[in-house]
Structure 1
Amino acid sequence: MKNTMEYKGYVGSIEFSEEDGVFFGKVQGIRSLISYEGTNASELITDFHGAVDDYLDLCEKEGQVPESAYKGSLNVRLGSELHKRAAVYAISQQQSLNSFIEEAVRDKLTAVNA
């Protein structure tokens, strides 16, 4: 089961509250809080799309550039020993630490999707 959905480049989470009997979520990867809900899958999707559209409309009206999720850079906390081991390995392979981490993530995702 997939617990995310996408619309216009934005990724939204999917959660369920048994207590309230509703599905809900929020747009991931941006600072702005964009949330949505629905009592079934169709309502959740419709409210997600509407929330994203409302956010984009508001940004346009206020002359602001909408936030982009997942811009391609991130901070990763590895711990000092793992950081050192990764850096030494990357150097031994004549590559940057960044390219080593990018390759490792790509390899892991390829294996997961295989």
Structure 2
Amino acid sequence: MIEYKGYTGVFEYDEDYEFFSGRVIDTRDGINFEGRSVSELKVSMRRAVDDYLEFCEEKGREPSKPYSGRVVAAFAVYASSQRARAGAATGGEVYPSFRARP
């Protein structure tokens, strides 16, 4: 995982192409990045996040913020960025234990 300005990026490595590709996981908007080395990957993520924030500013819209760890809803659910990160990093579900009450 890579962190920058509160955003968290996860990535995968493709051995056939010798290439990293990643995405920011703790935002509603799609932010992707890529690189051929870890240092190139980190620079790409920083640029992608900075470009996203600049784009939002130019359009006059609030950027999607990283998860705060709070859920505001009509029902009680434990939500945290750590759980979202762990689920996304392992390819698993973010809330696998959540079940609606009968």
TM-score of the alignment, normalized to the shorter chain, above 0.5: yes
Return the structure number with greater helix share: 1
CA–CA separation in structure 2 for the residues paired with 1:57 and 1:78 = 36
Q: How high is the TM-score relative to the length of structure 2?
A: 0.68
Determine the structure 1 residue equivalent to 2:54.
57
Which runs of 5 or more structure 1 residues have no equivalent in the other structure? 84-114
The answer to whether residue 9 in structure 2 is matched with residue 12 in structure 1 is yes
Matching of residue 34 in structure 1 with residue 31 in structure 2: yes
SS at match of 2:9: strand
TM-score, L = length of structure 1 = 0.62
The aligned counterpart of 2:74 is: none
Larger Rg: 1
Aligned to 1:78: 98
Could you tell me which of 13, 20, 24 is aligned with 1:23?
20
| 1:41 shift after superposition | 0.8
Rounded Cα–Cα distance in structure 1 between residues aligned with 2:22 and 2:69: 23
4+ residue segments displaced more than 6 Å = none
Cα root mean square deviation, aligned: 2.0
TM-superposed CA distance for 1:71, in Å, is 2.1
The alpha-carbon deviation at position 78 of structure 1 amounts to 3.2
Task: Extract unaligned runs of 5+ from structure 2.
Answer: 72-76, 78-94
> SS state of the match for residue 53, structure 1?
helix
| Pairing 1:66-105 to 2, within 5 Å after superposition | 66-74=63-71, 75=77, 76=95, 77-79=97-99
